Structure 1
């Protein structure tokens, strides 16, 4: 056990959670409702019995205008699946991966497009150029924002700020704005919380989310997520439901810049409230 595991264990004890209590428990076999009627088929088994078969449907391909280059020694390449659109979203660096996770997990974002079409612009020297944003985020009102991702050490060298300044006047209907994000905005805390919310959504059990809503329906101010999960009756399932409600925007992290394990407090969103449907 390394020092990080020890510190995590000590933090859990400080909040009243002792993982040793769960060691002798039986595994939870309840599964989320991942399938619907459209993915179920009736087939005949070897004994002639009619059985229901759940068919796995793969996520849709990325809409990117170009795929990430092959992996290099110093960079990561890959793709995530957006639970809202069930579509792959690619990334070509660790910073882009963090950005993709944060956008996908945001309750304010309806769709995320990776490597959207290039924007034509004229640079300061009067030369025609093209720039492909890393992402195009669309909110629920249809407003769009183009995003460029760069490590801060390359911002000045790449001249990206001048490029974005030349692009803004010619954006038109492409987007309302184009912004630059670096590791200063795409922090490990933000990314870790986003990843937890995405993973929880993939194992969502709506009944559990409804039970957590009943627990917090009249609460005000900051709530200890660990305490709420304890009241739920099963800590792991309760925490998964809490993350799903964070994904929905019904619960908000009290300090989104910090990992929930470091500051395990949430608040009921004043904008969404607990009377709104979880699926709203």
Structure 2
């Protein structure tokens, strides 16, 4: 066992998690609700009869106005799928990847656009130039925020702060605000939590989510997520359901700046509304 494994084991023991108990209590896997990602459509068969057919619905293409740059030693690129819109979202760096994860997992965000249309503004020399935000996030209330992602070491050299200051007064209907995010906000811990919520949602079993919500309904304040999962009776399914409720905004992490493994405490949000896709 390497040092990371030892640390994980010590964390689990600290918060009352026993791996031996989990193995002994392991049950048969349950098929997620949307395992096949299918939808039912109706078509006419050869007999002229209306027939229900299940078919796979692939993600739609990204709406990005430009492609990510080619991959190099210092940069990465890729895409993921927004579960709410079933649309590909691209990223061109590790920081953008973390930003996309956090946006897609946020219950406050309804839609995310990567590489939205460029904004024309006047630079310090009086020339008209264009800037393309990395993301445009739309909240559930309809507010729009354009986002520029940069590593902090490149902020000053890139002049991005001056660029955003010149763009803000002329945003108009494009967005309500434009902000800069660096690794100081897009931390490894926040991105890891977001990724866990997204992965859990992709393996969602709504009956499990409803059961965990009932278990937590009688608890006021913070509670150890591991205890809730053990009370569920099937630890992996219980934890997956907890992450699904985090994705919905029904449950929140007590300290979202830390990974759940480091601070496994959560609380139920009163009168929360599910936004599950």
Is TM-score (shorter-chain normalized) higher than 0.5?
Answer: yes
| Match in the other structure for 1:38 | 40
Distance 1:195 1:277 in 2: 19
Instruction: Give structure 2 stretches of 5+ with no counterpart.
Output: 46-51
Q: CA deviation at 1:38?
A: 1.2
Distance 2:149 2:275 in 1: 32
Match of 1:137, SS state, is strand
Q: CA deviation at 1:218?
A: 2.3
1:67-106 aligned within 5 A: 67-106=67-106
CA, structure 1 residues 76+36, in 2 after alignment: closer, same or farther (shift >3 Å)? closer
Q: Map Cα deviations across residues 31-89 of structure 1 (whole Å, 9 max, x no partner).
A: 11114551699x9xxxxxxxx98533211111100111121111111001111111110
- Which structure is richer in relative contact order (CA contacts within 8 A, separation 6 or more)? 2
Q: CA deviation at 1:277?
A: 5.1
1:3-22 aligned within 5 A: 3-22=3-22
Distance 1:203 1:110 in 2: 20
Match of 1:10, SS state, is helix
Distance 2:42 2:70 in 1: 37
Deviates more, 1:165-174 or 1:22-31: 22-31
Report the RMSD for the aligned CA atoms in angstroms. Answer: 2.2
Distance 1:229 1:254 in 2: 16
| Match in the other structure for 1:151 | 151
CA, structure 1 residues 225+163, in 2 after alignment: closer, same or farther (shift >3 Å)? same
Q: CA deviation at 1:219?
A: 1.4
| Match in the other structure for 2:120 | 120
Q: Map Cα deviations across residues 175-223 of structure 1 (whole Å, 9 max, x no partner).
A: 0010000000001110000000000000000000000011011211111
CA, structure 1 residues 271+210, in 2 after alignment: closer, same or farther (shift >3 Å)? closer
TM-score, length of structure 2 as denominator length: 0.91
CA, structure 1 residues 268+151, in 2 after alignment: closer, same or farther (shift >3 Å)? same
1:253/1:265 contact within 8 Å kept: yes
Q: CA deviation at 1:20?
A: 2.6
TM-score, length of structure 1 as denominator length: 0.90
Q: CA deviation at 1:174?
A: 0.2
Q: CA deviation at 1:113?
A: 0.3
Q: CA deviation at 1:279?
A: 4.3
| Match in the other structure for 2:182 | 182
Distance 2:129 2:225 in 1: 50
Instruction: Give structure 1 stretches of 5+ with no counterpart.
Output: 44-51
Q: CA deviation at 1:125?
A: 1.8
1:40/1:55 contact within 8 Å kept: no
